Amino acid sequence: MLKSLGIRVTRKCNSRCLICHLWKEQATGREVSASQYKKLFSQPEFQEVEEFFISGGEAFLRKDIEQIIKTILRSMPKVTKFLLTTNGTSPLKAAELFKKLNKNQQIKTLRLAVSLEGDGVTNKKIRGIDSYNSALLTLKLCRAAAPRLQTVILTTLTHLNCNRRSLNHIKKIAVQTGSAFSFRPFYNSVYHYNHEKRLEFSGKQKALVVDFIKNCGSDDPFLKAQGEYLKTGKMPLMDKCLAGNIFADVRPDGSVYPCFNSTREIGNVAKGVYVKKIKDLGQHEQCPCCDEACFHPMFCWPPKTIKNNFSRIGN
């Protein structure tokens, strides 16, 4: 039974990232309306969902983002956890939204993730726009507007920012803003890709990241799992992945996929979830490394059969 959803509300984006070429596409695809989200998430398959993540593209490019969130909350009454991911270019809109969400009694855990790739120069080089100060302002204004808000800084590591200076800078900003921080190595996925340039980091940089994770003081299980992935080439839990079981990924047109890295549709607005069981995960999924939005649900809702895996990541 589904417990967690990643909902990508748009493919439009105002960043020009090296790590994601959505912005190079003409975003002409259909975007689901609030009423269509109501139709989809009122289906029985979604009635046990306890959390959802909103992302894009850039979520704040949807003018109806507040209505979308309200509709989704009403459609899935067991939801108590909410996270929104942004590039931080709309600090005033973000603060206004989270001020309202802070008062919502249904949401018990309220989270905001802001993308930051290093200091101002490095961030601009990777993101393609000068979003450093607006990202910091987004964190500041949203935390002031929503006292119970939990914030996290998200970073994608490439050979451009996989160095001790950038890692320490991200950690420093996290401390200064009262935020957690998390990162994953760049890889070409279904959504985030750059097939024109090699952005992967070297073996020496990989060792540096492993050492940083070991000594950074974070008890985040995802970071610990990343360290193991970088050392061994295997991500904990991936041998018993629960994509399409306890979590799913919803694309901007309302189609449902097992996960962020999947190319197989298992549902849509018209039919709901029409594939009930998946016995061949990996045949239609790119699995070089688990995305946090996939790893997190497996960590939070592990069935008894995979509990032993967590001893490997310090749970």
- Residues 82-114: tens digit of each pLDDT: 999 999 999 999 999 999 999 999 999 999 999
Find out whether 228 and 236 touch, Cβ atoms under 8 Å. yes
Q: Which stretch of 131-145, 149-163, 278-292 has the lowest confidence by average pLDDT?
A: 278-292
Task: Name the pTM for this structure.
Answer: 0.93
CATH fourth-level superfamily of 4-313: Aldolase class I (3.20.20.70)
- How confident is the model at residue 309, as a pLDDT? 40
**Predicted local confidence at residue 294, as pLDDT:** 84
Residue 306's pLDDT is what? 43
Q: Are 236 and 306 in contact (CB under 8 A)?
A: no
- 4 alpha-carbon distance from chain centroid: 12
* Residues above pLDDT 90, as percent of the chain: 69
What is residue 276's three-state secondary structure?
A: coil
Report pLDDT for 162: 97
CB atoms within 10 A of CB 266: 23
State the Cα–Cα distance between residues 204 and 163, nearest whole angstrom: 10
Side-chain half-sphere CA neighbours of 116 within 13 A: 32
pLDDT of residue 26: 62
pLDDT at 308 (0 to 100): 38
Distance (Å, rounded) from C-alpha 221 to C-alpha 199?
A: 25
Write down how long the chain is: 315
pLDDT in tens, 169-221: 999 999 999 999 999 899 888 877 888 889 999 999 999 999 999 998 778 88
Structure tokens at 95: 């603060």
- DSSP state string for 122-177: HHHHHHSS--HHHHHHHHHHHHHH-TT-EEEEEEEE-TTT-SHHHHHHHHHHHHHH
Q: Where are the domains of the chain?
A: 4-313
Tokens of 21: 């070429």
Is 314's pLDDT higher than 80? Answer: no
Contact 150, 112 (CB under 8 A): yes
Tokens at residue 254, please? Answer: 């309302």
**92 and 141 Cβ atoms separated by less than 8 Å:** yes
Number of Cα atoms under 13 Å in the Cβ half of residue 280? 6
Of 7-21, 115-129, 281-295, give the range with the top mean pLDDT. 115-129
Phi and psi angles of residue 207, each rounded to the nearest 5 degrees, phi first:
-65, -35
Q: What is the pLDDT of residue 312?
A: 31
Cα angle, residue 129 at apex, residues 127 and 135 outer, rounded to 5°: 80
| Local confidence band at 310 (pLDDT 50, 70, 90 cut-offs) | very low
Hey, which of 26-30, 131-135, 301-305 has the most confident mean pLDDT? 131-135
Q: Mean pLDDT lowest for which of 153-167, 181-195, 251-265, 301-315?
A: 301-315
